[in-house]
Amino acid sequence: MEDKSNNFTNIETVRVKVPPFWPDEPALWFAQLEGQFSLANVSADSTKYNYVVSSLEFKYITEIKDIVKNPPKENKYEKVKAELISRLSSSQEQRVRQLLTHEDIGDRKPSQFLRHLQGLAGPNVPDDFVRSLWAGRLPTHIQVIIASQPKSSLDELATLADTITDVIGTSQIHQLAAPPAPPAPAPAAAPASSEIKDLKRAITELTRQVAALASSPRTRSRSKSGDTRWRRRSRSQSHDDAASEAFCWYHRKFRENATKCRAPCTYTAENDKGSH
């Protein structure tokens, strides 16, 4: 009778298909594993515990090595399940923080990126928030089209965004979405060496001509004669001005044609002729 029981147990062992462990979704992995236990009629706590421990890779079993080294006498499976989920799962707060600050579309399709954000957000984050966050991180040209469809559902928008990506191409969309690089400043044009040489020659020639003109005898002669004439005119003008100051207003104005005179006045026709 005992041999038959052992044979039955061996048949159950063969029937259980343990899926590869999913460290990002440990709770989902346990749910699938328990489905296999149910199909194989495995209910013993020790059997389920042993399946879990034997299926974990080294880097994951080290997360629960304290339990593996000293397992509880009862509910070993439930204990290892609870600790793996607790220690490997990100908290809701960490998921939302990652959702807000670190996630970008990368090479994913818009619908794949949406599902990724929904997975990070979990059931407690409103769909409107996820929709706004998802749309805001799409390439600019897709954002414009998404914004023109306010009544479409989130699934419809994801399908539309995927269609745009397929038509235009992912790489081209990302190039269109990227801000254009600022143009490089044009280097200042340096004056040509020939222009500088021409300018120096012109300045030298102009300086020579001015110096030659200043030292010319004719120039000095004209300058001296001009000074002499100016001094003569200046002395004559000064004399006439002094004489006129002694005349009254009428004689200064009308000279010999004045019909009135007001003292003091020294005007005489001879004086007037002499002043000229």
Residue 37 has pLDDT above 90, yes or no: yes
How far apart are the C-alpha atoms of 156 and 171, rounded to whole Å? 23
Shared domain for 164 and 148, answered yes or no, is yes
54 in any annotated domain: yes
Are 59 and 88 in contact, with CB atoms under 8 Å apart? Answer: no
144 in any annotated domain: yes
Shared domain for 225 and 258, answered yes or no, is no
Total domain count, the chain: 4
188 in any annotated domain: no
274 in any annotated domain: yes
- Residue 115's pLDDT is 92
Tokens linked to 19: 């899926």
Query: Before 139, cis peptide (omega within 30)?
Result: no
Q: pLDDT, tens digit, for every residue of 202-214?
A: 556 655 655 565 5
**pTM more than 0.75:** no
Shared domain for 123 and 137, answered yes or no, is yes
How far apart are the C-alpha atoms of 119 and 175, rounded to whole Å? 28
- Residue 176's pLDDT is 45
Shared domain for 113 and 46, answered yes or no, is no
128 in any annotated domain: yes
Of 184, 193, 145, 197, nearest in space to 168 by CA:
145
Of 22, 7, 100, 94, nearest in space to 60 by CA:
22
Residue 266 has pLDDT above 60, yes or no: yes
Domain end residue (candidates: 56, 88, 120): 88
Shared domain for 84 and 9, answered yes or no, is yes
Shared domain for 49 and 117, answered yes or no, is no
How far apart are the C-alpha atoms of 242 and 124, rounded to whole Å? 112
How far apart are the C-alpha atoms of 8 and 6, rounded to whole Å? 5
- Residue 48's pLDDT is 94
Are 146 and 138 in contact, with CB atoms under 8 Å apart? Answer: yes
* Domain region containing 8: 2-88
